[in-house]
Structure 1
Amino acid sequence: MQLPSSITQASRGSLDTLVLSNAFGRCEISLFGAHVLSYVPQSDQRERLWLSQSAIFDGISAIRGGVPVCWPWFSDNHGNRQEDLPSHGYVRKQQWTLNDCKDDDNGTAVTLVPQSVQGPGFDYAAQLKIVVHLGEQLSITLVTRNLGSEPFPLSCALHTYFAVEDIQRSELIGLKGEYLDKTRGFDTFSTPSPYRFTMETDRIHLDAAEHLTIQHPGGVTEVDSSGHNSIVVWNPWQDKATAMADMREDGYLTMLCVETAVTGDVSLAPGQTLALQQRIG
């Protein structure tokens, strides 16, 4: 495929990447996992995504940071014992292929498709693609279509790690209602206001907010979502960060996951398409 001048090929470790660069900014995408690694708008030249300094780029391990793709299930919602199947599905550890690209006055777009949509725990007829568009915002759209004659269960997420200057001086604005707290047995609690961070946070917000704002000393990041039914907020804090081989013990201080997600028992009917989208500004 002939690439426009706005798209170049590069690498990280043993991984092939695509670099999109135009008048709106720059982003880098790993073909392993269709994983967006970096997004820097031209307007302020500030990196929006957090990528672990200890991230592993070996084509085997999931990449810590950026925007991992969770599909066809989120977390361990696969109906089996937790240890039987990989957390967050399997496409984030697959090689993806460039299927299409486009460059015009509105920006640059690439469409990637996975090696296979079927794997242990999911043998349904489905079509999956991800479209990354670098324009006035960075738009990431994960599109699932049911090609079969029966409905299938689906949960998925864009598990975005946002860069913050100091998590303890950061605030998330725009969520309300109740959330399920994984650190407290999935009990239900009310969303705090102001929403700040002083400990391990692992929450599924049942409020499918369409617009959120992350405020921190380094700037403001806008997050828009569609096609979702929940927002997941996560920070491992010090003890869990220290236990991770691909995260420095102080890494939690400069990251916050705000994930556009479809969680719970969702069924995709035959012929139905779900487009899960996150837009970052």
Structure 2
Amino acid sequence: MLTKVPFLLTVFWFLVLGCFKVVVGADCLSTELKITNTDNKPFSFNTALHTYFRASVTGASVRGLKGCKTLNKDPDPKNPIEGQEDRDAVNFPGFVDCVYLDAPNELHFDNGLGDQIIIKNTNWSDAVLWNPHVQMEACYRDFVCVENAKLGDVKLEPGQYWTATQLLSIS
């Protein structure tokens, strides 16, 4: 839990309480992020869970993003290319850094190693797929990121809170 930490006040300029809860089950993992505005003025934020999965980059794929508006950050992260996802299964053929706006609350991830992972969420509106490819030559073949995100600003008045959950399970 983070609250009233002097360093954080120099970075964020407001008082906030952040709580991240993790529950590990036999065949699932759930997380909950709760942000509470404990200040006397409103503030806005956005956030993402940088979820790294062990995977075979050549066999990994994500289903459930077809039809989403995309912001492809390759080749220029500062000027993403807008588009729409038309693939049933999105794979990782090289460098991947793509935002999926208004993503569904359930995605299906095949890690290319024989595991099918269901990613369910509440209150995360977006998703991000990422793999650095040869920028991290030593390890890029062994992982991919499938991130839940809230990229539009969340505005909290004093005393208000925002909560989002994620459930990862093996199908």
- Aligned amino acid, residue 233 of structure 1: L
User: Which of these residues, 16, 36, 43, is aligned with residue 152 of structure 1?
Assistant: 43
Q: 1:149: how far off?
A: 2.7
What TM-score do the two structures reach when normalised by structure 2? 0.84
Amino acid at match of 2:61: E
Q: Hey, what does 2:58 align to over in structure 1? A: 168
Match of 1:277 in 2: 165
Is 1:133 paired with 2:17?
no
- Aligned partner of 1:205 among 94, 100, 104: 100
Matched, 1:196 2:103: no
Is 1:167–1:256's contact at 8 Å kept on the other side of the alignment?
yes
- In the other structure, the counterpart of 2:80 is 186
Distance change in 2, residues 1:192/1:170 (3 Å): farther
Which of the pair is proportionally richer in strand?
2
Which of 126, 132, 138 is residue 236 of structure 1 equivalent to?
132
Between the two structures, name the one with larger relative contact order (CA 8 Å, sep ≥ 6): 2
For 2:152, what is the secondary structure of its paired residue?
coil
Q: Structure 2: which 5+ runs fail to align?
A: none
User: Shift in Å at residue 121 of structure 1?
Assistant: 3.2
Identical residues among aligned pairs (%) = 28
Partner of 1:226: 122
Q: Which consecutive residues of structure 1, in runs of 5 or more, have no partner in the other structure?
A: 1-112, 243-248
One-letter code of the match for 2:53?
Answer: F
Runs of 4+ residues deviating >6 angstroms: none
Instruction: Work out the number of aligned pairs and report it.
Output: 160
Equivalences for residues 1-281 of structure 1 within 5 A: 113-114=1-2, 116=5, 118-135=8-25, 137-164=28-55, 166-176=56-66, 177-184=68-75, 185-193=79-87, 194-215=89-110, 216-238=112-134, 240-242=135-137, 249=138, 251-281=139-169
